[in-house]
């Protein structure tokens, strides 16, 4: 562990997440071998940093290291760049030229975005990995090289294989050891640590005192999905460091500088590509419904637990609990707290940061049935006809989007006494979409 901390310090790695530690631990273990390593992870998670750590801790550390982005080299020149060419091999080849595999002999080559490598180049690379042999473009002389390969990808290589864009044999050869660098959203405990580190770094660079975020501003950072990961966080820290007039930054100021922080980047429902503006609005409504349902459900669960515990009650039968799923008449379903994307609505959302919001992961949570587990301290008789009860009760939720969409539209129409324009406005969809839905659901 001490070793891990020392390495983090040496390479400026910030973070305490077990996922990060595991990835780093693997990197340290394989560094001193010549094994090929495949680093996977989303854009901006630190894949290149990992490749440098591996090189720096290897026996090749005094030899050269180069990072090559396979996606950035045109298909027509990549073979010549990597393997070199002979004079006259193609138009413009006025002299012999060494490629990276010759120049970096004895060192390490980091092949970023390996999934973008053209198929013919993949087969030359496979030959190098298997025998160390390669041929310059336009030559027939077999040359040898001793290079350690570290590859990285932010796409699913198995998917590229299925599409015949990536060689399966190369995949298995590269994947001797793989390191999955975690996305920032999977290591939330590191978000603030990283922000603070970057804020201090930028304060030094711009010679200002470091930024201080208030509690709600920190909450905003934690709620963001960070699709661009550490790179995005670093950019946010830099932008706020430069723009903040006041060193103490409130949540309101933070979203003023970085409006993207209001977007949660929820999971997407893929559309068929038609009418994307409309389907986006429809998605928004569905997300609102799902989040509201989730919150209502959590409130209900707590309420039921409390009631059972405080009053020493018998646990009601599942059928009576299901009655609680009937839509509430409070009409507040549209005050969805999590899904506003319009920046001028951000005050609303910021106000709601004060409330303790459960973090919702739709992938993980929405499809599951509700499980109610009574606490074991109340004296309870088993329910008739439900002998298994006493440990776990499972209720099957109705999560059909269509059903909830229909209910919501009915409620909006009722609330606005059938005035479609007002109902559509409240639902956040166009009148045309509402009209279509009314017909579709036969309302």
Q: Which residues of the chain form contacts with ligand ATP (CB under 6 A)?
A: 12-15, 41, 43-49, 112, 154, 194, 230-231, 234
Q: Pick one of ligand ATP, Mg ion, none as the site partner of residue 13 (Cβ within 5 to 8 A by kind).
A: ligand ATP
Q: Which of these ranges, 44-52, 219-227, 229-237, 285-293, lies near Mg ion under the rule CB under 5 A? A: 44-52
Min dist CB 68 to ligand ATP, Å, is: 12
Between 194 and 412, whose beta carbon lies closer to ligand ATP?
Answer: 194
CA 250, chain centre distance (Å)? 25
Between 13 and 244, whose beta carbon lies closer to ligand ATP?
Answer: 13
Between 204 and 354, whose beta carbon lies closer to ligand ATP?
Answer: 204
Min dist CB 12 to ligand ATP, Å, is: 6
Min dist CB 191 to ligand ATP, Å, is: 11
Q: Pick one of Mg ion, ligand ATP, none as the site partner of residue 230 (Cβ within 5 to 8 A by kind).
A: ligand ATP
Q: How far is CA 341 from CA 143, 251, 261, 336, 377, in A?
A: 57, 16, 10, 11, 45
Min dist CB 72 to ligand ATP, Å, is: 10
Between 14 and 300, whose beta carbon lies closer to Mg ion?
Answer: 14
Q: Pick one of Mg ion, ligand ATP, none as the site partner of residue 234 (Cβ within 5 to 8 A by kind).
A: ligand ATP
Q: Pick one of ligand ATP, Mg ion, none as the site partner of residue 125 (Cβ within 5 to 8 A by kind).
A: none
Between 113 and 338, whose beta carbon lies closer to Mg ion?
Answer: 113
Between 45 and 179, whose beta carbon lies closer to ligand ATP?
Answer: 45
Length of the chain: 443
Min dist CB 416 to Mg ion, Å, is: 52
3-state secondary structure the chain: CHHHHHHHHHHCCCCCCHHHHHHHHHHHHHHCCCCCEEEECCCCCCHHHHHHHHHHCCCCCCCCEEEEEHHHCCCCCHHHHHHCECCCCCCCCCCCECCHHHHCCCCEEEEECHHHCCHHHHHHHHHHHHHCEEECECCCCEEECCCEEEEEECCCHHHHHHCCCCCHHHHHHHCCEEEECCCHHHCHHHHHHHHHHHHHHHHHHHCCCCCEECHHHHHHHHHCCCCCHHHHHHHHHHHHHHHCCCCEECHHHHHHHCHHHHCCCCCCCCCCCCCHHHHHHHHHHHHHHHHHHHHHHHHHHHHHHHHHHHHCCCCCCHHHHHHHHCCCCCCCCCCCCCCCCCHHHHHHHHHHCCCCCCCCCHHHHCCCCEEECCCCCCCCCCCCCCCCCCCCEEECCCCCHHHHHHHHHHHHHHHCCCCHHHHHHHHCCCHHHHHHHHHHHCC
Going residue by residue from 110 to 129, which x/- string records binding to Mg ion, judged by CB under 5 A?
A: --x-----------------
Between 83 and 195, whose beta carbon lies closer to ligand ATP?
Answer: 195
Residue nearest to ligand ATP (CB): 46
**Nearest in space to 249 (alpha carbons), one of 218, 283, 285:** 218
Min dist CB 178 to ligand ATP, Å, is: 14
Positions 346 through 365 that interact with Mg ion (CB under 5 A) = none
Between 41 and 115, whose beta carbon lies closer to ligand ATP?
Answer: 41
Min dist CB 69 to ligand ATP, Å, is: 7
Min dist CB 278 to ligand ATP, Å, is: 33
Between 51 and 433, whose beta carbon lies closer to ligand ATP?
Answer: 51
Which of 48, 214, 366, 397 touches Mg ion (CB under 5 A)? 48
Min dist CB 47 to Mg ion, Å, is: 5
For Mg ion, the binding residues (CB under 5 A) are 48, 112
């Amino acid at each position: 562990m001490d070793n891990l901390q020392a390495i983090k310090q040496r390479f400026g790695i910030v973070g305490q997440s077990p996922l990060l530690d595991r990835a780093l631990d693997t990197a340290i273990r394989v560094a001193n071998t010549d094994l090929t390593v495949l680093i996977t992870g989303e854009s901006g998670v630190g894949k290149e940093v990992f490749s440098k750590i591996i090189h720096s801790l290897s026996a090749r550390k005094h030899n050269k290291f180069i990072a090559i982005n396979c996606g950035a080299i045109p298909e027509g020149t990549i073979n010549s760049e990597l393997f070199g060419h002979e004079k006259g091999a193609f138009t413009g080849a006025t002299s012999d030229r060494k490629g990276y595999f010759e120049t970096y002999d004895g060192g390490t080559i980091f092949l970023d975005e390996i999934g973008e490598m053209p198929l013919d180049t993949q087969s030359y690379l496979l030959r190098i990995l298997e025998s160390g042999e390669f041929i310059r473009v336009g030559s027939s002389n077999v040359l040898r090289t001793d290079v350690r390969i570290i590859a990285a990808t932010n796409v699913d290589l198995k998917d590229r294989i299925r599409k015949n864009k990536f060689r399966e044999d190369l995949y298995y050869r590269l994947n001797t050891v793989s390191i999955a660098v975690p996305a920032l959203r999977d290591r939330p405990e590191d978000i603030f640590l990283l922000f603070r580190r970057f804020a201090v770094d930028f304060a030094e660079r711009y010679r200002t005192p470091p930024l201080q975020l208030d509690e709600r501003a920190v909450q905003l950072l934690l709620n963001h999905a960070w699709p661009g990961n550490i790179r995005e966080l670093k950019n946010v820290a830099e932008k706020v460091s430069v723009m903040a007039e006041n060193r103490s930054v409130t949540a309101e100021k933070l979203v003023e500088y970085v409006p993207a922080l209001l977007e949660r980047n929820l999971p997407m429902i893929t559309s068929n590509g038609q009418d994307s503006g409309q389907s986006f609005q429809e998605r928004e409504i569905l997300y609102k419904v799902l989040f509201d349902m989730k919150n209502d459900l959590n409130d209900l669960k707590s309420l039921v637990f409390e009631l059972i515990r405080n009053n020493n009650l018998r646990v009601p039968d599942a059928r009576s609990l299901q009655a609680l799923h009937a839509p509430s008449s409070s009409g507040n379903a549209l005050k969805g707290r999590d899904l506003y994307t319009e920046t001028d609505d951000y005050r609303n959302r910021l106000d709601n940061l004060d409330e303790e919001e459960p973090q919702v992961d739709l992938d993980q949570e929405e499809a599951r049935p509700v499980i109610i587990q009574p606490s074991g301290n109340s004296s309870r008789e088993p329910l008739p006809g439900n002998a298994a009860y006493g440990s776990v009760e499972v209720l099957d939720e109705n999560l059909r989007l269509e059903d909830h969409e229909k209910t919501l539209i009915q409620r909006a129409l009722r609330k606005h006494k059938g005035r479609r324009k007002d109902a559509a406005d409240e639902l956040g969809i166009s009148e045309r979409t509402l009209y279509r839905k009314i017909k579709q659901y036969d309302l």
